[in-house]
Structure 1
Amino acid sequence: MRKIMLLLSVLALPAFGETLRLATFRADVTPPVGAPLCGGLVKPVAGVSEPLLALGVVVWSDDKPVVLCAVDWCEIRAGDHVHWREVLAQAAGTTPERVAVHSLHQHNAPIGDGAAHRLLAACASPPAVLDLDWAERALQGVAASVKDALRNASPLTHLERGEAAVEKVASNRRILGEDGKIAKMRLSATKDAALRDLPEGLVDPMLKTLSFWNGEKKLAVLHYYATHPMSYYGDGMVTYDFVGTARERRTQADGVPHLYFTGCGGNIAAGKYNDASKEARVRLGENIHAAMVASEKEMKRVPLTRIEWRAIPVVLKANPEFPEERMLKVCENAATAPSARISAAFRVGFTRQSAASVPIQFTSLHLGDEVCLLHLPGETFIEYQLFAQQQRPGGFVATASYGDGGPGYIPLEKSFAEGGYEPTQAFAAPESEKIMRETIAALLRRK
């Protein structure tokens, strides 16, 4: 079941967007020592390599504001994602469906899923998923930064957009055998030289960049690229990893905020080019940074004559192969591995969300006639990002995935028959691909 409803907010503006304004915000969302990381799936916080940040922009005019927020967390799921959008909407003076919140998906970072934490807390010897009190304080800190930002908004006159190929970062994780089944998996780090020598496979090599301007003054820059953003993790050291390193380097050099959004990286990682060494993390960051710089060298100016926000609330059906009753038994069994209990709790949360017809917001922001920013939930496969670009030939479509993390992975329907890791952590039903494609097409359809 899904809700088929397109909520359009279209504002025709004078030439060069004289009524548009833009504000930027930045807040620390670093968990304290001892707090769970990756939802309790890895070692908890032992120290901080780099502080985690929530970065965003608020765009508004005579209509209600739009908020775009990128968070250095692994995921924000289900009810927590709804709560984030509600709190940030109130801070910005807008409505939740006009707020897009996306995690970057670094793994030495929190997973926001209070429902899963409370479910397990009621069981014997529960693993911890989230430091609930700290997570709420962190969110309130982000909201405060939004309120402060609105006092320092600048006129927004135009955009510039560009793109550049990223060298030696992304590779496809799923390697098919001759029988059409997954023969090998090349994950975020690969020490097997033979696996690293295999071809990249299907990726989107382009990093897309959009910058906001007030006349000749640059206000903010948004970057989009599709890959799992981890070089190594599990050592308890909080980090924004190589994508955060590149982003912060550009911010410091440029003097204006740079934001990074992870695209459809569900089946994409750096495994071909990453052996989990410290040197590899540095090299991957340098390659992302080089593409960011290159994408801004050949920017095209885009006048802002109109802005349009589209939102489609969608209910994805839960995968019937994992009934709630069986998953609850896994949660309750203290003898079961903590990782299996946590995964089961995540799945129960999504199953209940789907059964209650709680929708996930799919949204897009249209800036002028050619620039579209698409916002998707879950760990979507790269094929959805490439499909989105096909909907706007000659246009500029930048995709942010890892919105509501409730569905887990969102593979293609055929992926379930192929096997591999991702379908085992796909909480929505295999037929979700059809709904995904229909929704993406509706969000990007030309008027």
Structure 2
Amino acid sequence: MLAFHLARFKVDATPPNGHSLCGGWIKPVVGVDDPLWLRGVVLQGAGLPIVLAALDWTGVMDESHRLWTEALAEAAHTTPDRVALHCVHQHNAPFIDREGNALLRKANATPLLYDEAFVDDLVKRAAAAVRESLTAAKPVTHIRAGQAEVHEVASNRRVIGPDGKIRFTRGSATLDPVARAEPVGTIDPILKSVGFFQGDRPLARLYYYTTHPMSYYGDGRVSSDFAGLARQQRAADEPDTFHVYFTGAAGNVTAGKFNDGNHANRVTLAHRIHAAMKAADEHAQERAHPLESAEWITAPFRFAARSDLDLDKLKAIVADPKESVVNRNRTAMTCGWLMRVASRRPILLSKLELAGGTLLHLPAETFVEYQLHAQGERPDTLLATAAYGDGGPWYIPLERSFAEGGYEPSVAGVSTTSETPYRKAISDLLKKQA
């Protein structure tokens, strides 16, 4: 009997009409251009099962993330520390935080971050999908991992001027031609593909690429955007293979240099991602490694919160009906994070060591420099990074980012001195053996 088996699951995670999008501060759902999915795999044979899942949502934070991973773990007959639940981070999609939602509901605020009945039902459906997938698990014999460059999609969103301060912030869509003309900046241009094979048959391919995955948003039209469309194209190429897409450490990376918001660009960007997916799979084809072992290793890490964040003052903003929706809702999420920090429950970093590749799992909107640092720590392997796990910290910038200014550090939940210990935690995890 073969040691390793792979189960594949998916569940429609599209919110209903009227549901809040991106935390309630953009237009709610008025229609669906293409559905949102929770897609994932369960690897059996490396001790307790390992769950790797990607959700087409903006973010799942703190207690919401804990409860969802616990439900998936129970369904997969494993423990929550062996579940990696990540968001792809599209914005015409839900953004959930259980404690923040409770504060808003107590204050009779509207709109809430999300509809709890819808989300609770989705978590139950997701657990059921995982449970049902186990009966159809297939033997896995090989891993094939490859990579390819993505052309003209990603750019660094933070353009620094000669004074060391933010000159431009390039959003997902950037109208200013001067800002778009600035250099690409620091990114990771490489898309990684990690395939699980039964002999020569690909059972599932996991893709990893690092950029905010939005071409345009805010119109109430639900979409998995260009990352989801590229995944959909790849599924059409290989209808018998299961495809999952993870977003890397893209906190400071967008398509803004190459996208002015023209709606046609969504398809253009999708084609560019799709081309890299195919190229990475072709590169992987001659790099077959027998799957003889798989090691799942975790490392708890506690971020300190920003010292200027006062929970009582923030709760007062949430309770104030004169405040804007965006201030109340974002602040409610920050409250959820501060309550979580006070509870001392850590963020869990994890990695999966496979023949031919290492999968690294990071939280929230981690800046790309941490991903590049991780790759420098492991030049011996194809390292694929998924960020946007537990979204509680929001942005995780560099230490210098706070002095540079700009949007990301202004809404980051972590201390200005987080960079050094976070880098060390990532390095230590990558060196750690089971």
State how far apart, in whole Å, the 1-side matches of 2:337 and 2:112 are: 18
1:333 CA displacement: 1.2
After superposition, the Cα gap between the structure-2 partners of 1:340 and 1:48, relative to the gap in structure 1 and judged at 3 Å, is same
Contact 1:126-1:334 at 8 Å conserved across structures: no
- Which one-letter code corresponds to 1:38 in the other structure? C
**Out of 41, 52, 57, which is 1:68 matched to?**
52
Between 344-353 and 119-128, the greater mean CA deviation after superposition: 119-128
Q: Secondary structure at the match of 1:67?
A: strand
State how far apart, in whole Å, the 1-side matches of 2:123 and 2:394 are: 22
Between 309-318 and 87-96, the greater mean CA deviation after superposition: 309-318
Q: Secondary structure at the match of 1:76?
A: strand
- Any unmatched runs of 5+ in structure 2? none
**Out of 14, 35, 41, which is 2:19 matched to?**
35
1:216 CA displacement: 1.7
State how far apart, in whole Å, the 2-side matches of 1:46 and 1:115 are: 26
Residue 320 (structure 1) aligned with residue 307 (structure 2) = yes
State how far apart, in whole Å, the 2-side matches of 1:418 and 1:124 are: 37
1:124 CA displacement: 4.5
Residue 123 (structure 1) aligned with residue 123 (structure 2) = no
Q: Secondary structure at the match of 2:399?
A: coil
TM-score (norm 1): 0.94
**Out of 361, 365, 381, which is 1:379 matched to?**
365
Q: Deviations over 1:65-104 (max 9, x none)?
A: 0000000010000000001110000000000000000000
State how far apart, in whole Å, the 2-side matches of 1:443 and 1:19 are: 26
1:61 CA displacement: 1.0
1:114 CA displacement: 2.0
Q: Secondary structure at the match of 2:205?
A: strand
1:397-408 superposed matches below 5 A: 397-408=383-394
1:414 CA displacement: 1.0
- Which one-letter code corresponds to 1:261 in the other structure? F
State how far apart, in whole Å, the 2-side matches of 1:303 and 1:420 are: 47
1:49-60 superposed matches below 5 A: 49-60=33-44
1:340 CA displacement: 0.7
Residue 419 (structure 1) aligned with residue 405 (structure 2) = yes
Contact 1:124-1:333 at 8 Å conserved across structures: no
Q: Secondary structure at the match of 2:264?
A: helix
Number of the residue aligned with 2:379 = 393
Contact 1:24-1:56 at 8 Å conserved across structures: yes
Residue 431 (structure 1) aligned with residue 417 (structure 2) = yes
1:446 CA displacement: 6.2
- Which one-letter code corresponds to 2:278 in the other structure? V
Contact 2:46-2:293 at 8 Å conserved across structures: no
Q: Deviations over 1:168-201 (max 9, x none)?
A: 1000000111111111111100111111111101
Q: Secondary structure at the match of 2:380?
A: coil
Residue 290 (structure 1) aligned with residue 275 (structure 2) = yes
1:148-227 superposed matches below 5 A: 148-227=132-211
Q: Secondary structure at the match of 2:192?
A: strand
1:28 CA displacement: 0.4
State how far apart, in whole Å, the 1-side matches of 2:289 and 2:153 are: 29
- Which one-letter code corresponds to 2:65 in the other structure? H
- Which one-letter code corresponds to 1:257 in the other structure? F
State how far apart, in whole Å, the 2-side matches of 1:62 and 1:303 are: 14
Give 4+ residue runs of structure 1 displaced > 6 Å after superposition: none
Contact 1:121-1:127 at 8 Å conserved across structures: no
Q: Deviations over 1:32-53 (max 9, x none)?
A: 0011111102111101111110
Q: Secondary structure at the match of 2:369?
A: helix
1:62 CA displacement: 5.9
Q: Secondary structure at the match of 1:298?
A: helix
Q: Secondary structure at the match of 2:295?
A: strand
- In percent, how many aligned pairs have the same letter? 45
1:303 CA displacement: 2.1
Contact 2:20-2:111 at 8 Å conserved across structures: no
Contact 1:26-1:53 at 8 Å conserved across structures: yes
- Which one-letter code corresponds to 2:277 in the other structure? M
Contact 2:194-2:206 at 8 Å conserved across structures: yes
State how far apart, in whole Å, the 1-side matches of 2:46 and 2:270 are: 40
Residue 361 (structure 1) aligned with residue 348 (structure 2) = yes
Contact 1:173-1:269 at 8 Å conserved across structures: yes
Residue 22 (structure 1) aligned with residue 6 (structure 2) = yes
- Any unmatched runs of 5+ in structure 1? 1-16
Residue 271 (structure 1) aligned with residue 256 (structure 2) = yes
State how far apart, in whole Å, the 2-side matches of 1:96 and 1:112 are: 19
1:314 CA displacement: 1.6
1:285 CA displacement: 0.4
State how far apart, in whole Å, the 2-side matches of 1:38 and 1:302 are: 40
State how far apart, in whole Å, the 1-side matches of 2:268 and 2:190 are: 18
Q: Secondary structure at the match of 1:275?
A: coil
1:394 CA displacement: 2.7
Q: Deviations over 1:340-367 (max 9, x none)?
A: 1111111111011001101111111011
